[in-house]
Amino acid sequence: MSGAPHGVVRVAVVGLGWAAKSIWLPRLREHPGFAVSALVDPDRAALAAAVHDRTGTLLLTDVDELTPDVADLAVVAVPNHLHAAIACRLLVNGVPVFLEKPVCLNSEEAEQLAAAETGGGSLLLAGSAARYRADVLALRELVANLGHIRHVDLSWVRARGIPDAGGWFTQRQYAGGGALVDLGWHLLDTVTPLLGDVRGDITFDQALGTVSDDFVRSSVARASWREEQSLHAYDDDSAGDVEDTARGFLVTDTGVSVGLRASWASHEPRDVTVIRVDGSEGTATLRCTFGFSPNRVESAELTLTKDGVVTQVPFPVEPIGAEYMRQLDELPALLAAPESRGRAVRETRRTIAVIERIYETARAARATRTARAAAGRRATAAPGPLASAPAAPAAAATSDEPAVAVRIASPVRVDGADVSTNGRAIPAPTHR
């Protein structure tokens, strides 16, 4: 690997927004196993703001200019609707990719990634850092002593934490969904290792859910830690057509049920993540706060409950964000391991299938309620015997859910600084 000491992974960071600047660049620059060899963003201001040391770092505005001569790995942190398209282009050009979550927005994109990984011969890596948290790793050890696992409840409920309100995160055409694709992806990525899945083989046979949007258009519910300036091309103050809360119920092919709740905002005082695992021999419960929110639980807690006795289980306390460094520690080995090939695609297929199913069932339930309400109105308005037909339940007439559509996107095209999706032109973002 030219330009970097032997054994050091040369990394290009593609997309220089909040995630790159707050998560990846500081840690990649600190980590002895990596050298940042290139930065890519069509927004020249974002490029300039991300430059740390001009010597040796290539600055690019188009991902097609990135080649395996320059980078051994590209960390891709662009807006969600560009994930699959940009990763596919890199993979086909021979550049291995670590792709941020949500890896893709629908099953069609998952298949495009699978084809690009196979066709280009490069490796696709993905995965949420949550599974690398010290408390989650301690929970995993506990779970091994719980006998047969019967049920897992996972919830990540923020008091106020809508990312980039009014920006691309809250617009379905760019984000693909709301709290479910954002926080829910982390939770789905965390649950399967707890069930002993090492290869991404466990599947979910059943999935259903509901979504709601009570907070998404409220400016006071935004994520304070992102310090949004909301100055980019995706901004639309009237926008916010994704859910802020999703609830799901899933069953794996091994018969384990999983309850899921992801909320960007709520009536809670703090941002809290709870994972509770019920086994035949006991229950393990982790209460902590995932992510970077400053409004955290005072101290994370892991307990084991057996025969009515609750025991505190110690685990190492670590600084906020330590899991991302641990994830980086593992990347070089994953990059070199032949068994990594295809794993991200397997996990992605599973995760996106669950997300699609939750959205589909939420949408179908809403359509049923709407039809019932319309039938009730017709019955009330009609003269004669029909007028005495029972009215639809009040809940059906006042939906608490937004219209949810699974976005089956046509392949996203990215042309230099101009990107387009579903035939709609999007100007190159001007970064805040």
Ligand X SMILES: NC(=O)c1ccc[n+]([C@@H]2O[C@H](COP(=O)([O-])OP(=O)(O)OC[C@H]3O[C@@H](n4cnc5c(N)ncnc54)[C@H](O)[C@@H]3O)[C@@H](O)[C@H]2O)c1
**Min. distance of Cβ 398 from ligand X in angstroms?**
32
177 belongs to the binding site for ligand X (CB under 6 A): no
DSSP state of 162: B
Strands 257-263 and 309-312: unpaired
Does residue 345 sit in helix, strand or coil? helix
Size of residue set near ligand X by CB under 6 A: 27
Going across the sheet that includes 73-76, the strands are: 58-60, 34-40, 9-14, 73-76, 97-99, 124-126
78 vs 328 by CB, closer to ligand X: 78
* Out of 9, 13, 19, 114, the residue judged to bind ligand X by CB under 6 A: 19
- Helical packing angle, 185-194 and 134-143, nearest 10°: 40
CA nearest to 145, candidates 103, 217, 184, 194: 194
Q: How far apart are CA 78 and CA 50, in angstroms?
A: 14
347 belongs to the binding site for ligand X (CB under 6 A): no
**Min. distance of Cβ 407 from ligand X in angstroms?**
15
Contact (Cβ atoms closer than 8 angstroms) between residue 72 and residue 9 = yes
* Out of 9, 25, 38, 77, the residue judged to bind ligand X by CB under 6 A: 77
15 belongs to the binding site for ligand X (CB under 6 A): yes
Segment interacting with ligand X (CB under 6 A) among 76-84, 216-224, 306-314, 387-395: 76-84
230 vs 305 by CB, closer to ligand X: 230
DSSP string, 390-401: PPPPHHHHS--S
14 vs 152 by CB, closer to ligand X: 14
176 vs 200 by CB, closer to ligand X: 176
**Min. distance of Cβ 245 from ligand X in angstroms?**
17
Segment interacting with ligand X (CB under 6 A) among 38-46, 150-158, 334-342, 344-352: 38-46
Q: How far apart are CA 243 and CA 211, in angstroms?
A: 6
Q: Give the interface with ligand X as residue ranges (CB under 6 A).
A: 14-20, 23, 40-43, 46, 63, 77-80, 82, 86, 100-101, 129, 414, 419, 429, 431
